[in-house]
A = this chain, B = another copy of it.
Protein backbone atom coordinates (compact mmCIF):
# COMPACT_ATOMS: atom_id res chain seq x y z
CA UNK A 1 0.00 0.00 0.00
CA UNK A 2 1.05 3.61 0.42
CA UNK A 3 0.47 6.62 2.62
CA UNK A 4 0.80 10.19 1.35
CA UNK A 5 -0.45 13.43 2.87
CA UNK A 6 -0.54 16.94 1.42
CA UNK A 7 -1.24 19.83 3.82
CA UNK A 8 -2.25 23.33 2.77
CA UNK A 9 -1.05 25.87 5.33
CA UNK A 10 -1.23 29.65 5.28
CA UNK A 11 2.55 29.67 4.90
CA UNK A 12 2.72 27.08 2.12
CA UNK A 13 2.34 23.42 1.26
CA UNK A 14 3.82 20.42 3.05
CA UNK A 15 4.00 16.95 1.50
CA UNK A 16 4.99 13.60 2.96
CA UNK A 17 5.00 10.18 1.35
CA UNK A 18 6.28 6.74 2.24
CA UNK A 19 8.25 4.63 -0.24
CA UNK A 20 7.05 1.09 0.28
CA UNK A 21 5.35 -0.80 -2.51
CA UNK A 22 4.18 -4.35 -2.36
CA UNK A 23 2.70 -7.07 -4.52
CA UNK A 24 1.46 -9.30 -1.75
CA UNK A 25 3.36 -9.37 1.53
CA UNK A 26 6.18 -11.43 0.05
CA UNK A 27 7.27 -8.90 -2.55
CA UNK A 28 8.21 -5.54 -1.07
CA UNK A 29 10.20 -2.81 -2.77
CA UNK A 30 11.15 0.81 -2.28
CA UNK A 31 9.96 3.35 -4.84
CA UNK A 32 9.78 7.10 -4.63
CA UNK A 33 6.19 8.36 -4.75
CA UNK A 34 6.90 12.08 -4.69
CA UNK A 35 7.81 13.97 -7.88
CA UNK A 36 8.61 17.62 -8.42
CA UNK A 37 8.92 19.83 -11.49
CA UNK A 38 9.91 23.44 -11.30
CA UNK A 39 10.82 26.48 -13.34
CA UNK A 40 12.43 28.61 -10.62
CA UNK A 41 10.69 31.93 -10.28
CA UNK A 42 7.79 30.78 -12.43
CA UNK A 43 6.23 27.55 -11.13
CA UNK A 44 6.62 24.60 -8.78
CA UNK A 45 4.56 21.42 -9.14
CA UNK A 46 4.65 18.46 -6.76
CA UNK A 47 2.78 15.16 -7.11
CA UNK A 48 2.41 12.16 -4.86
CA UNK A 49 0.96 8.90 -6.10
CA UNK A 50 -0.90 5.95 -4.57
CA UNK A 51 -2.27 2.81 -6.21
CA UNK A 52 -1.03 0.54 -8.95
CA UNK A 53 2.68 1.26 -9.35
CA UNK A 54 2.80 0.54 -13.09
CA UNK A 55 -0.03 3.04 -13.57
CA UNK A 56 1.51 5.80 -11.48
CA UNK A 57 4.97 5.36 -13.00
CA UNK A 58 3.47 5.49 -16.44
CA UNK A 59 1.51 8.67 -15.69
CA UNK A 60 4.53 10.38 -14.19
CA UNK A 61 6.78 9.34 -17.09
CA UNK A 62 4.27 10.49 -19.71
CA UNK A 63 3.85 13.85 -18.00
CA UNK A 64 7.60 14.19 -17.67
CA UNK A 65 8.29 13.32 -21.33
CA UNK A 66 5.78 15.91 -22.42
CA UNK A 67 7.82 18.57 -20.67
CA UNK A 68 10.87 17.59 -22.72
CA UNK A 69 9.48 17.01 -26.20
CA UNK A 70 8.70 20.06 -28.25
CA UNK A 71 5.73 20.44 -30.57
CA UNK A 72 3.33 18.23 -28.62
CA UNK A 73 -0.26 19.13 -29.33
CA UNK A 74 -1.15 19.40 -25.65
CA UNK A 75 0.61 21.86 -23.39
CA UNK A 76 2.92 20.22 -20.87
CA UNK A 77 2.55 20.73 -17.13
CA UNK A 78 5.39 23.24 -17.44
CA UNK A 79 3.41 25.27 -19.98
CA UNK A 80 -0.17 25.10 -18.72
CA UNK A 81 -1.13 28.58 -17.52
CA UNK A 82 -2.91 27.60 -14.28
CA UNK A 83 -2.77 24.92 -11.59
CA UNK A 84 -6.35 24.03 -12.50
CA UNK A 85 -5.30 23.21 -16.05
CA UNK A 86 -2.41 21.14 -14.73
CA UNK A 87 -4.88 19.19 -12.60
CA UNK A 88 -6.92 18.59 -15.76
CA UNK A 89 -3.84 17.42 -17.68
CA UNK A 90 -2.86 15.04 -14.89
CA UNK A 91 -6.43 13.77 -14.53
CA UNK A 92 -6.70 13.13 -18.28
CA UNK A 93 -3.38 11.31 -18.37
CA UNK A 94 -4.31 9.21 -15.34
CA UNK A 95 -7.66 8.23 -16.86
CA UNK A 96 -6.00 7.34 -20.17
CA UNK A 97 -3.44 5.07 -18.53
CA UNK A 98 -6.01 3.36 -16.28
CA UNK A 99 -8.27 2.80 -19.28
CA UNK A 100 -5.49 1.54 -21.54
CA UNK A 101 -4.48 -1.07 -18.97
CA UNK A 102 -8.00 -2.09 -18.06
CA UNK A 103 -9.17 -2.86 -21.60
CA UNK A 104 -7.65 -5.52 -23.79
CA UNK A 105 -4.67 -7.68 -22.93
CA UNK A 106 -4.40 -9.94 -19.94
CA UNK A 107 -6.70 -9.35 -17.03
CA UNK A 108 -5.25 -8.76 -13.59
CA UNK A 109 -6.90 -9.66 -10.31
CA UNK A 110 -6.45 -6.19 -8.93
CA UNK A 111 -7.55 -2.91 -10.45
CA UNK A 112 -5.07 -0.63 -12.20
CA UNK A 113 -6.42 2.29 -10.24
CA UNK A 114 -4.34 5.10 -8.83
CA UNK A 115 -4.90 8.38 -7.03
CA UNK A 116 -2.71 11.47 -7.10
CA UNK A 117 -2.18 14.45 -4.82
CA UNK A 118 -1.08 17.50 -6.81
CA UNK A 119 0.12 20.74 -5.26
CA UNK A 120 1.98 23.80 -6.33
CA UNK A 121 1.87 27.35 -7.51
CA UNK A 122 2.31 29.31 -10.75
CA UNK A 123 3.41 32.95 -10.93
CA UNK A 124 0.48 35.34 -10.46
CA UNK A 125 -1.68 32.48 -9.14
CA UNK A 126 -2.48 31.13 -5.70
CA UNK A 127 -0.94 27.99 -4.22
CA UNK A 128 -3.26 25.03 -4.90
CA UNK A 129 -3.70 21.49 -3.63
CA UNK A 130 -5.71 18.87 -5.56
CA UNK A 131 -6.79 15.27 -5.10
CA UNK A 132 -7.09 13.52 -8.48
CA UNK A 133 -9.15 10.34 -8.88
CA UNK A 134 -8.51 7.46 -11.31
CA UNK A 135 -11.60 8.61 -13.23
CA UNK A 136 -9.71 11.82 -14.02
CA UNK A 137 -11.87 14.19 -11.98
CA UNK A 138 -10.50 16.01 -8.97
CA UNK A 139 -11.13 17.98 -5.78
CA UNK A 140 -9.40 21.10 -4.54
CA UNK A 141 -8.48 21.58 -0.89
CA UNK A 142 -10.50 24.31 0.79
CA UNK A 143 -10.55 25.94 4.18
CA UNK A 144 -12.95 23.24 5.39
CA UNK A 145 -10.80 20.43 4.06
CA UNK A 146 -7.26 21.79 3.97
CA UNK A 147 -5.43 18.47 3.51
CA UNK A 148 -5.65 15.32 1.46
CA UNK A 149 -4.57 11.80 2.28
CA UNK A 150 -4.21 8.91 -0.17
CA UNK A 151 -3.50 5.21 0.36
CA UNK A 152 -3.84 3.89 3.91
CA UNK A 153 -5.60 6.95 5.27
CA UNK A 154 -7.41 5.81 8.39
CA UNK A 155 -4.86 5.06 11.11
CA UNK A 156 -3.18 8.43 10.72
CA UNK A 157 -6.31 10.52 10.40
CA UNK A 158 -7.41 11.10 14.03
CA UNK A 159 -4.28 13.09 14.88
CA UNK A 160 -4.55 15.15 11.68
CA UNK A 161 -8.14 16.03 12.52
CA UNK A 162 -7.18 17.06 16.04
CA UNK A 163 -3.86 18.81 15.66
CA UNK A 164 -3.91 20.45 12.21
CA UNK A 165 -4.15 24.22 12.12
CA UNK A 166 -3.89 26.39 9.00
CA UNK A 167 -1.50 28.75 10.80
CA UNK A 168 0.97 26.03 11.83
CA UNK A 169 4.67 26.52 11.26
CA UNK A 170 6.39 24.22 8.75
CA UNK A 171 8.24 22.57 11.64
CA UNK A 172 4.97 21.77 13.45
CA UNK A 173 3.37 20.54 10.25
CA UNK A 174 6.31 18.20 9.64
CA UNK A 175 6.03 16.97 13.23
CA UNK A 176 2.32 16.35 12.73
CA UNK A 177 3.03 14.33 9.60
CA UNK A 178 5.66 12.29 11.44
CA UNK A 179 3.10 11.39 14.11
CA UNK A 180 0.45 10.54 11.53
CA UNK A 181 2.91 8.37 9.58
CA UNK A 182 4.16 6.72 12.74
CA UNK A 183 0.63 5.55 13.67
CA UNK A 184 0.12 4.25 10.15
CA UNK A 185 3.45 2.44 9.90
CA UNK A 186 2.85 0.83 13.29
CA UNK A 187 -0.47 -0.58 12.10
CA UNK A 188 0.07 -1.42 8.43
CA UNK A 189 3.13 -3.37 7.26
CA UNK A 190 2.65 -2.17 3.70
CA UNK A 191 3.46 1.42 4.64
CA UNK A 192 7.11 1.95 5.51
CA UNK A 193 10.15 4.20 5.58
CA UNK A 194 12.15 5.86 4.14
CA UNK A 195 9.78 8.83 4.10
CA UNK A 196 10.02 11.79 1.74
CA UNK A 197 9.25 15.25 3.07
CA UNK A 198 8.90 18.40 1.03
CA UNK A 199 8.04 21.92 2.07
CA UNK A 200 6.95 24.58 -0.39
CA UNK A 201 6.97 28.15 0.88
CA UNK A 202 4.06 30.12 -0.54
CA UNK A 203 5.00 32.63 -3.28
CA UNK A 204 8.64 31.45 -3.27
CA UNK A 205 8.15 29.79 -6.68
CA UNK A 206 11.09 27.48 -6.08
CA UNK A 207 11.43 23.96 -4.79
CA UNK A 208 11.56 24.15 -1.03
CA UNK A 209 13.27 21.96 1.50
CA UNK A 210 13.38 18.29 0.52
CA UNK A 211 14.33 15.66 3.05
CA UNK A 212 14.50 11.89 3.00
CA UNK A 213 13.90 10.36 6.41
CA UNK A 214 15.64 7.00 6.57
CA UNK A 215 14.51 4.03 8.62
CA UNK A 216 17.05 4.75 11.36
CA UNK A 217 16.45 8.51 11.50
CA UNK A 218 16.94 9.61 15.10
CA UNK A 219 14.15 12.17 15.16
CA UNK A 220 11.59 9.75 13.73
CA UNK A 221 12.68 7.06 16.20
CA UNK A 222 12.30 9.51 19.09
CA UNK A 223 8.81 10.49 17.90
CA UNK A 224 7.88 6.84 17.78
CA UNK A 225 8.80 6.15 21.40
CA UNK A 226 7.79 9.53 22.83
CA UNK A 227 4.41 9.55 21.12
CA UNK A 228 3.50 6.30 22.85
CA UNK A 229 4.30 7.83 26.23
CA UNK A 230 2.58 11.12 25.41
CA UNK A 231 -0.58 9.28 24.34
CA UNK A 232 -0.62 7.31 27.56
CA UNK A 233 -0.23 10.51 29.55
CA UNK A 234 -3.00 12.15 27.54
CA UNK A 235 -5.19 9.13 28.21
CA UNK A 236 -4.46 9.21 31.94
CA UNK A 237 -5.29 12.91 32.07
CA UNK A 238 -8.91 12.23 31.06
CA UNK A 239 -11.52 12.07 33.81
CA UNK A 240 -12.13 8.56 35.17
CA UNK A 241 -15.23 6.69 34.20
CA UNK A 242 -17.39 5.42 37.04
CA UNK A 243 -18.85 2.01 36.44
CA UNK A 244 -20.81 1.53 39.64
Which residues of A does B touch, CB under 8 Å?
A: 154-155, 157-159, 161-163, 170-172, 174-176, 178-179, 183, 186-187, 199, 209, 211, 219, 222-223, 226-228, 230-235, 237-244
Pull 8 A–B residue pairs with CB atoms less than 8 Å apart, ordered by A: A159-B231, A162-B235, A174-B241, A179-B235, A211-B243, A219-B239, A231-B231, A234-B234
Cross-chain contact of A228 among B155, B162, B178, B237 (Cβ < 8 A) = B162
A187 and B231 alpha carbons, distance in the complex (Å): 19
A235 and B174 alpha carbons, distance in the complex (Å): 12
A100 and B41 alpha carbons, distance in the complex (Å): 66
A155-B155, A158-B155, A159-B235 are known contacts. Are A171 and B242 too (CB-CB below 8 A)?
yes
CB-based contact A243/B175 at 8 Å:
no
Residues of B contacting A179 in the complex (Cβ-Cβ under 8 angstroms): 235, 238
CB-based contact A187/B171 at 8 Å:
no
CB-based contact A238/B175 at 8 Å:
yes
Residues of B contacting A238 in the complex (Cβ-Cβ under 8 angstroms): 175, 179, 223, 226-227, 230
CB-based contact B240/A187 at 8 Å:
no
Residues of B contacting A237 in the complex (Cβ-Cβ under 8 angstroms): 226, 230, 233
Interface centre among A171, A227, A231, A242 (most CB of B within 10 A): A231
A112 and B168 alpha carbons, distance in the complex (Å): 46
CB-based contact B154/A187 at 8 Å:
yes
A157-B155, A175-B238 are known contacts. Are A162 and B231 too (CB-CB below 8 A)?
yes
Interface centre among A179, A186, A238 (most CB of B within 10 A): A238
A5 → chain B closest CB, angstroms = 15
A174 and B175 alpha carbons, distance in the complex (Å): 30
A227-B238, A241-B219, A243-B199 are known contacts. Are A158 and B183 too (CB-CB below 8 A)?
yes
CB-based contact A174/B243 at 8 Å:
yes
A227 and B235 alpha carbons, distance in the complex (Å): 8
Cross-chain contact of A158 among B158, B163, B239, B240 (Cβ < 8 A) = B158
Residues of B contacting A219 in the complex (Cβ-Cβ under 8 angstroms): 239, 241
